[in-house]
Amino acid sequence: MNRKMPPILPPTRRGLLRLAALSGVAALTPGLAGCVTDNLVTGAVPERQSAFDVSPVLLVATTRKPVGNPPKSPYFSSERGRGLSFAEVRLTAPDRSLLGKVSSAITDDWGVAAVPKVESGPGAAEAFAQAAFGRDVLFYVHGYRESFQSAALSAAKLSDGIRFRGASALFTWPSAAATFDYGYDRESALWSRDAFEDLLKALANSPSGGRINIVAHSMGTLLTLETLRMLRAEAGEAAMARIGAVVLAAPDIDIDLFTGGVARMGPDVAKITVISSTNDRALELSGAIAGGVVRAGAADRERLEALGVRVADASDYGGGLINHDLFLSSPDVQGVVKRAISRAGGGA
């Protein structure tokens, strides 16, 4: 079937220079006592042991080109590979001691320890399904300007932060990890739709019965929404029944494109939770670069709720200048992710 990609709007150099200026500024998100409220549930969720406490292994599916055979750092490049690849990535866990907690405030507390082997080609999706067999899965789909290493660390922080008890996973697409490559990143994300759909089909067809939960960030939300549209159209309700929570954090999607995509989801729109913020500076710049059309992640809550999605408005929970990754930096916003997965029936 021929799939037409939406037109890519080239960024202006002025817009990218402004984005570069902001990208060097770290967001400073203070701890908050209360929980972000969505339109259904509020309140704290009890702490539980995560699967990473037992075995810090991240299941990675990627359309990036592998580096080396056997694999060597950085393991996966910004180039596009030949189809899907799969790897079980071993992570270094954070130091839970008092000294470790202090040091983690200034350094990353997760790390990539090793990638023992990479399986590429037609068998990669099935290998992933076998590795996840019998467990709920939490996919993290990263956004613009991310390397494999940075995306893997974000996936670990997310899973550990919500104390996920199933199989933690990353779908990583060929981002150039560079400020001035917004167009390349957007095309690479859309190019990865077929591979992501094949992977979701393999998981949906697995007899293990586990739920497939997806948390996508920024540009990764466009890849996710487009892939789910395709999955629903081609594999039907049986495949979509295996999809649990779909959390779109700060979606970097033209609101008109988002509206059309959500409309194609039918009753499955109820699975979607949008974490939005009207003071997300990265989305403000993205909208300016893309012709001034508001991004879905910066739209008013009422406009989003009218589409049938759940909305968690995090506008009041960012204390930094950018406020684009609150689902990673704020425990309160992570509570939204945790509750969405709990509502879907598994893993958290």
Question: Alpha helices, DSSP H only, in 241-295?
Answer: 255-263, 281-289
- The CATH number of residue 99's host domain is 3.40.50.1820
Distance of CA 196 to the CA centre of its chain: 13
7-11, 17-21, 321-325, 342-346: which is most confident: 342-346
What is d(CA 180, CA 166) in angstroms, rounded to the nearest whole number?
37
What is d(CA 80, CA 240) in angstroms, rounded to the nearest whole number?
28
Q: Is the pLDDT of residue 340 over 50?
A: yes
Q: Is the pLDDT of residue 106 over 70?
A: no
305 in a structural domain:
yes
Q: Is the pLDDT of residue 90 over 70?
A: yes
Tokens found for residue 210: 């586990």
State the angle between helix axes of 220-240 and 193-205 in degrees (0 to 180), rounded to the nearest 10: 30
285 in a structural domain:
yes
Q: How confident is the model at residue 23, as a pLDDT? A: 40
Q: Which residue has the tokens 């932060």?
A: 161
Tokens found for residue 20: 């570069």
**174-184: string of b/e by CB count within 10 Å (b at 16+)?**
bbbbebebbeb
Domain enclosing residue 187, as ranges: 13-344
What is d(CA 123, CA 19) in angstroms, rounded to the nearest whole number?
39
7 in a structural domain:
no
154 in a structural domain:
yes
256 in a structural domain:
yes
CA-to-CA separations, 174 to 60, 189, 314, 339, in angstroms, rounded: 13, 7, 29, 30
5 in a structural domain:
no
- pLDDT higher for 76 or 209? 76
Tens-place pLDDT, residues 241-281: 999 999 999 999 999 999 999 999 999 999 999 999 888 88
Tens-place pLDDT, residues 10-60: 444 444 434 443 343 333 233 333 334 454 333 333 456 788 888 899 999
Which of 73-82, 88-97, 209-218, 253-262 is predicted least confidently? 88-97
Q: Which amino acid is at 144?
A: Y
Burial class (CB in 10 A: 0-12, 13-18, 19+), 106: exposed
Helix (H) or strand (E) holding 101: helix 98-103
List residues bridging with 295 in a β-sheet.
Answer: 254
Domain count, the chain: 1
Q: How confident is the model at residue 139, as a pLDDT? A: 98
Q: Which residue has the tokens 């993290």?
A: 140
2 in a structural domain:
no
170 in a structural domain:
yes
Q: How confident is the model at residue 329, as a pLDDT? A: 83
Q: Of the candidates 257, 270, 334, 263, which has an alpha carbon nearest to the alpha carbon of residue 299?
A: 257
**CB within 8 Å of 197: residues ≥ 6 apart:** 227, 230, 231, 234
